[in-house]
Structure 1
Amino acid sequence: MAQAIVVGGGLAGLSAAHTLLERGANVLLLDKQGFMGGNSTKATSGINGAGTRAQQDAGIPDNAKTFFEDTKKSARELARDDLIAVLTGRSGDAVNWLQDKFGLDLSQIARLGGHNQPRTHRGGAQFPGMVITYAQMERLEDLAVSDPNRVKIKMKARVSKLLKDESGAVIGVEYEHKGKKEEAYGPVILATGGYAADFTSDSLLKKYRPEYYELPTTNGDHCTGDGHKLALAIGASAIDLEKVQVHPTGLVDPKDPEAKVKFLAAEALRGVGGLLLDNTGKRFVDELQHRDFVTGKIWENGKYPIRLVLNGKASNEIEWHCKHYVGRGLMKRFENGEALAKEFGLSPDVLKKTFEDYNESVRTKKDPFGKKFFSGEWKFDDFYHVAVMTPVLHYTMGGLEIDAESRVIDSNGKPIPGLFASGEVAGGVHGANRLGGSSLLGCVVFGRVSGDSASAYILQTASAAIEKAGGRLGAIAGQLGAPKASTSTDIPKEEAKKAPAPASTSSSSAGGAKSISKEEVAKHNKKDDCWVIVGDDVLDVTEFLPDHPGGEKAIMLYAGRDATEEFDMIHERKVIARYAPKATIGKLA
């Protein structure tokens, strides 16, 4: 089958690419960054799914109908029913696909704000967005090596134009790669993300929500609405571009409180029972309300700083997140209520009263702020994890108008042939407010839908060409066809022999590696000269900093220091040899 072009290497683009390969199409993936993953790797709460096997095993009576109703309510009646039906109706299958296809653990299930059932799936460790995205990313990279005729990946390739034929159908892209302008041909799937970091000269954010323009963001600097602008330039229609989600819980770094880019405090922290307290030590909101509601209450209350507090039970349930945030200096642990009160600058009696009032709500199920779901009573004699919160730009619900087949719609209400969109670039799915856990879901569901639709489009256009050519069927079929290949994205046994061998946990394990002292590493602690220690290896990550999907700051926190514990919490050691093979410069003395 002929080639399809996927623009964007986040979870939506990866899911589209794997689906195209399952359907027999070839894939060219173009990403403007130096590393695939996008914002998908940062997702911290999990992926929603209704009626999954994991829910059935846990006895959770969820279904697509209930999920549909929750999503429609959160969307403030603005999302389109047909798109919500696709999102929720295919959600269970999406989670099962990830588990079956990529062998992922998604057995832990939480209830986030706005959900009437626990349906947000994650595994026992690491950020679920990173686990899910890396699994697809590594599989696709291996296929690009083992079967380069079917899979091509080009990084730092910026698409500048969508190409159309005389009929108005999209037939490919123009892009810049390694200083050259190139063209590629085939139907196009846009999976370029949103515009919640669009601080460019033609900013969609500034145009549609100028009052949010100065807020900090959780998004990488690649989220500048590129796909929107490409499609709008050829007559595509957009929907709900003013619908920008401000997440209530961005983590404030005490060392850099004005930082423009913030780490997100996973909604799961509130899902397991975390409380939001103002500077008087009191609650002011149902912590499990919709994101826009909680954000509005933070602004309305106005008693800063706002702190997210987890008791011992909640801390244990989401231990990995707490350890991660503490390691980054974004969260503190306190061993008792007196220490917690001191952090607030309040009398212990104030916090005791807050906890007693909350416990009364737990017992009576009558909460002054309307909370319906509780995770047990609080004790003053306990340990706590605490972080300062601020609202942050997080997600753009608006985007290109699509239909239920992920086809991009033009200004006349008709699909643009050959152009599809999935993930955050597509609008109309979430209405005025997205539910937590539905970003990864939207990427997987509509990534798969767009892959299916693009595959069908290739077959339709090929059939039309063959029919038109009549007696030249054989010749044209030969031109359109690719060498016979597996319709699965699993690496065939015969191809596995050509696939790259599993990476060593150290790329400097060979004898004679340079010996470097901790004192020497400590001298290299600047952005233009950055070394870190991982295990027994010393890495020079200076050149890798701009390409790190978590942003430069995530590495700079450990510049000149031992980053082993933090690294091992997030990555497997093999990623060093895979993604930064030249970084290892020696062994720790």
Structure 2
Amino acid sequence: MSVIVVGGGLAGLSAAHTLLERGANVLLLDKQGFMGGNSTKATSGINGAGTQTQQTLGIPDNAKTFFDDTKKSARDLARDDLIRVLTGRSGDAVNWLQDKFGLDLSKVARLGGHSQPRTHRGDASVPRNGLSRPFRIIPTSANRTPRMCSRSSPMPRWSVSRISLSSKDDSGAVVGVEYSHSGKTETAYGPVVLATGGYAADFTEDSLLKKYRPELWNLPTTNGDHCTGDGQKLAMAVGGRGIDLEKVQVHPTGLVDPNEPDAKVKFLAAEALRGVGGLLLDNTGSRFVDELQHRDYVTGKIWENKKYPIRLVLNGPASKEIEWHCKHYCGRGLMKRFESGDALAKEMGLPPSVIKKTFEDYNAVVRSKKDPFGKKFFSGEWKYDDVFHVAIMTPVLHYTMGGLEIDSESRVIDTNGKPIPGLFAAGEVAGGVHGANRLGGSSLLGCVVFGRVSGDSAAAYLLQQSSAAIAKAGGRLGAISGQLGTPSSAPAAKAPEPASSGSSSSSSSKSKEYTMADVEKHKKKDDIWVVVNGQVLDVTSFLPEHPGGEKAILLYAGRDATEEFNMLHDPKVIPRYAPDAVIGTLKK
């Protein structure tokens, strides 16, 4: 019998790793058919209090201070027991990622709502083994899952179209899942960890978003189209209780693509851009808010101010501090670089004197530490004669604080207030952790902390069930040996055959050479080629499986995507997850 982890983002992977460490068998199912989820889009970092990195940098942070910051951000709506788990285990979570995966989390920033710098990310300026790019948790941990232990059965190429909880047994316990694969319904048996994410892209017929926050229905979203509340709906169908489902976070800084301003799905401008000193300016060139306030507060001020477009502006030092992000956004056409204040003023359609005054007024605030908007933390004065990176912002649906009610052991609670045996939840699928507003940097933290908690709880539950089965059998040696194999009444899910990579026809096609002129002919949604590291890929069929969404690929249709790909991915991603996409090499 295996523990079934449903969802391949950071919460699911953290649960799977923890289960493997506890000696359990793991079956990992992912709706996307590709590990990653929304976790792959998080680039600001992960929060942690009292970490090894903070101690090295002399940052006087602790779990109590983090608890107080989270409690304040939650508007007293989150549960203290869950906040205590989140913040109390935060330092250990960051240390675990560093120790287990060798991640570079050596830089620490202060994001909005934090009284101490505690959001950890990598140093983008010194790449080492691909791990020091801003954030490599997902590709690194996903790549290591199959190698950790033969007991793991991750299936990143399964395109799971339907997952439903099996009927509960007489005790009310969840005993497994049913899922569809290649048109067939399969069954797997064992306790279940749900890590399916939120519902901020739930535009389906039974949408949780439309039911609980209809006024937000027409907003754009940063979420992939897999975020449709599947786990919440499945658990509630077997008696799970939802909590805070109306608590939907609208992030203030979604990036507006000048070529597609009305796009429903938008890339997020990482909170770290404001954390390093970026300013928000309205169409008059003026500041109107403390850029480091809570997300819901900044969003409210944007709507209240109504002077569009809103621009996020980074000066030279801020741009250097977060160089990877600037390069990433510029490469996607979502941000522009300007070589002077005059060029910035021209872009905004304002006299240079207006921008100069904005900077002068801000510098006076930096010196006096008295900001009319209440800002308390500053990153230095601004110069007019400087380099600037600028992007247009809009509020976007981002994170759902509501979800399944869980207890401090990640057990899903039923409508009677009792844990459902055999059912656990971690990450955005769970509610009650962040209250009315989530702090930046706590989404990935929630994934790791409650992923590990759910893994521990599911492993303990599995051991308890196995022990009970052995006792019921009378303790005979034959009963024990039966437990070591696969019970005939509970057949394990059959793993899929690996993708073929050795046919002569396949080898022949991959040895074919193409010119860039050939590649440029294939740039439509139903016919997309790209070039990555000298290889020509036909990614048409992979488009719906891409965890970063279709748009991330469409931007590079018919182009060389090498630089962008290498900033975000490990070189092993293509042979591991999309070997059949390679159709040849680029002719030199």
Residue 62 (structure 1) aligned with residue 61 (structure 2): yes
Give the match's secondary structure for 2:385: coil
Structure 1 contact 162–230 (Cα < 8 Å) conserved: no
TM superposition shift of 1:471 = 4.0
Picking from 319, 323, 338, the partner of 1:334 is 338
- Is contact 1:162-1:231 (8 Å) kept? no
Could you tell me how far 1:468 is from its partner in structure 2? 2.6
- 1:517 aligned to which of 515, 518, 524: 515
Q: For 1:565, give the aligned amino acid.
A: E
Are 2:186 and 1:182 equivalent residues in the alignment? Answer: yes
Distance in 2 between the 1:110 and 1:292 partners? 20
Decide which of 404, 407, 411 is 1:403's aligned counterpart. Answer: 407
Give yes or no for contact 1:358–1:377 (8 Å, CA) kept in 2: yes
Instruction: Return the match for 1:434 from 421, 424, 438.
Output: 438
% identical aligned pairs: 77
1:98-142 CA-partner distances (Å, limit 9, x unpaired): 011111111111100000111001112389786101111111133
The answer to whether residue 352 in structure 2 is matched with residue 354 in structure 1 is: no
Give the drift of 1:572: 2.9
Alignment of 1:85-124 (within 5 A): 85-124=84-123
Q: What does the per-residue CA deviation read over 1:27-56, in whole Å, with 9 as the maximum and x for residues that have no partner?
A: 011111121110000001000000000011
> Partner letter of residue 65 of structure 1?
K
Q: Any stretches of 5+ residues in structure 2 without a counterpart? A: 125-130, 487-497
Letter in 1 for 2:212: Y
Q: Distance in 1 between matches of 2:413 and 2:451?
A: 17
**Separation (CA, whole Å) in 2 of partners of 1:71 and 1:295:** 19
Between the aligned partners of 1:369 and 1:56, the Cα distance in structure 2 is 32
Helix, strand or coil at the partner of 2:103? coil
Seen in structure 2, the aligned counterparts of structure 1 residues 41 and 100 have a Cα distance that, compared at 3 Å, is same
Q: Describe how 1:42-441 pairs up with structure 2 within 5 A.
A: 42-125=41-124, 131-143=136-148, 147=150, 149-153=151-155, 155-157=158-160, 158-441=162-445
Q: In structure 2, do the counterparts of structure 1 residues 304 and 421 end up closer, same or farther at CA, with 3 Å as the change threshold?
A: same
1:129 and 1:400, CA in 2 relative to 1: closer, same or farther beyond 3 A? farther
How far apart, in 2, do the equivalents of 1:150 and 1:141 lie?
6
Distance (whole Å) between structure 1 residues aligned to residue 8 and residue 103 of structure 2: 20
Partner of 2:494: none
* Alpha-carbon offset, residue 74 of structure 1: 0.3
The answer to whether 1:478 aligns with 2:481 is yes
Q: Closer, same or farther in 2 for the Cα pair 1:129/1:209, shift >3 Å?
A: farther
- Counterpart of 1:444 in structure 2 is 448
Provide the rounded CA distance (Å) in 2 between the counterparts of 1:357 and 1:345: 20
CA distance in structure 1 between the aligned counterparts of 2:254 and 2:447, rounded to whole angstroms: 22
Distance 1:512 1:547 in 2: 22
Paired letter, 1:86 = V
Q: Is the 8 A contact 2:199 2:208 kept in 1?
A: yes
Q: Is the 8 A contact 2:133 2:567 kept in 1?
A: no
Larger mean CA deviation between 569-578 and 10-19 belongs to 569-578
2:574 pairs, out of 559, 573, 576, with 576
Q: How many Å separate the matches in 2 of 1:379 and 1:109?
A: 25
Cα 1:516–1:287 shift into 2, 3 Å:
same
CA distance in 2, matches of 1:136, 1:279: 43
Contact 1:11 1:37 in 2 (8 A): yes
Q: 3-state DSSP class of the match of 2:464?
A: helix
Question: Is this contact kept in 2: 1:43–1:128, CA < 8 A?
Answer: no
2:240–2:414 Cα contact (<8 Å) kept: yes
Residue 468 to residue 295, structure 1, CA distance change in 2 (3 Å): same
Structure 1's 192 and 130: CA in aligned 2 closer, same or farther, altered over 3 A? Answer: farther
Tell me the residue number matched to 2:128: none
2: CA distance, partners of 1:31 / 1:114: 33
Q: Distance in 1 between matches of 2:511 and 2:347?
A: 47
C-alpha distance in 2, partners of 1:468/1:117? 54
Q: Are residues 468 and 76 of structure 1, via their aligned partners in 2, closer, same or farther at CA, if it must alter by over 3 Å?
A: same
- Rounded to whole Å, the distance in 2 between the matches of 1:521 and 1:186 is 47
Question: What's the CA shift for 1:83?
Answer: 0.3
Moved more, 535-544 or 360-369: 535-544
Aligned residue identity for 1:407? R
Change (3 A) 1:130 1:105: closer
| Cα distance between partner residues in 1 of 2:210 and 2:445 | 28
Query: What is the CA–CA distance in structure 1 between the aligned matches of 2:577 and 2:471, rounded to whole Å?
Result: 46
Q: What is the CA-CA distance between 1:374 and the residue it aligns to?
A: 0.2
C-alpha RMSD of the superposition: 1.8
Taking a change above 3 Å as real, the CA distance of residues 347 and 545 of structure 1, as seen in their structure-2 partners, is same
8 Å CA contact retained: 2:122, 2:134: no
Q: Tell me the distance in 1 between the aligned counterparts of 2:265 and 2:224.
A: 8
Query: Residue 386 of structure 1: SS of its match in structure 2?
Result: strand
Contact 2:409–2:454 under 8 Å retained in 1: yes
Aligned twin of 2:532: 534
CA, structure 1 residues 227+191, in 2 after alignment: closer, same or farther (shift >3 Å)? Answer: same
Q: TM-score, normalised by structure 2?
A: 0.93
- In structure 2, give the amino acid aligned to 1:443: C
> Paired residue for 2:546, among 530, 548, 555?
548
Contact 1:540–1:583, Cα closer than 8 Å, also in 2: yes
Work out the number of aligned pairs and report it. Answer: 562
Task: Report the Cα distance in structure 2 between the residues aligned to 1:512 and 1:190, rounded to whole angstroms.
Answer: 39
State how far apart, in whole Å, the 1-side matches of 2:175 and 2:513 are: 54
Q: What does residue 497 of structure 1 align with?
A: none
**Contact kept in structure 1, 2:510 and 2:585, CA below 8 Å:** no
Secondary structure of the structure 1 residue equivalent to 2:397: strand
CA contact (8 A) 1:42 1:130 kept: no
Deviation at 1:546, TM superposition (A): 1.2
Q: Does the residue aligned with 1:93 lie in a helix, a strand or coil?
A: helix
Q: Is the Cα–Cα contact under 8 Å of residues 7 and 189 in structure 1 kept in the other structure?
A: yes
Per-residue CA shift, 1:527-578, capped at 9, x if unaligned? 1111111232211111111111111111111111111221222223322212
Whether the 8 Å contact between 1:43 and 1:127 is mirrored in structure 2 is no
Amino acid at match of 1:431: G
Aligned-residue offset at 1:512: 8.7
User: Does the 8 A contact of 2:363 with 2:382 survive in 1?
Assistant: yes
Matched, 1:39 2:38: yes
SS at match of 1:375: coil
Distance 1:64 1:482, change over 3 A: farther
Q: Secondary structure at the match of 2:474?
A: helix
Task: List alignment gaps of at least 5 residues for structure 1.
Answer: 484-499
SS at match of 1:264: coil
